[in-house]
Amino acid sequence: MSISIADLRLNYSQKQLTETEVDPNPFQQFRLWFEEAVTAQLPEPNAMTLATASKTGMPSARIVLLKGVDDRGFVFYTNFESRKGQELKENPQAVLVFLWKQLERQVRIEGPVEVVSDADADAYFHSRPLASQLGAWASEQSRVIASREVLEQRFQTLQTQYENQEIPRPPHWGGFRVLPQQIEFWQGRPSRLHDRLCYRLQQDSWLIERLAP
């Protein structure tokens, strides 16, 4: 390799993050940063890394999309029989990480998870494009399949089956809500002296602490 990976670095200098400027409510602070990411027209600002672990502690991570946030937590949807779905069933704890590189920002969210209500899952499922609804039925997510053609044939069969009909939500498909106990906001700063403010849930209130970079 002709490129030196060790020499790849940037000096962050856009903004700062101070205790006097942040909102005391971490959900509101997240909304402020998320709106700035949307306004900046970043590609898929709701893309986030979801980290889970098996019951034996083996970690895994992948990118998923945030589909809802309120003062209860952060919601995403998936196949319950996928690897992440099975791991969350066995070990209902998760970490989410948002990286908004162009704004030199990162948000890390940690906490237990719960399954969203059937009503919420149904409402979101039927708001999706029809092709995405069919895809939820067609894909046995994370399982070995013989070929791409098998998947496409299954999709075509479902298209015919549900033509001019409402597509029901699969029983193996729904949502998870991450219930934060800790939310860290990271702002890049010069000389690697980054700003890190961590909100920790203590009973019914949030403690804000500064962490060393």
Active-site residues, by number, are: 192
Helix intervals (H) in 45-191: 83-90, 118-127, 130-138, 148-161
Strands, DSSP E only, in 7-104? Answer: 47-53, 59-65, 68-69, 74-79, 93-100
d(CA 117, CA 126): 14
Q: Which residues of 92-128 are buried (b: 16+ CB within 10 A; e: fewer)?
A: bbbbbbbbbeebbbbbbbbbebbbbeeebbeebbeeb
**β-strands 105-115, 182-187 pairing:** antiparallel
Rounded (5°) CA angle 30-212-109:
30
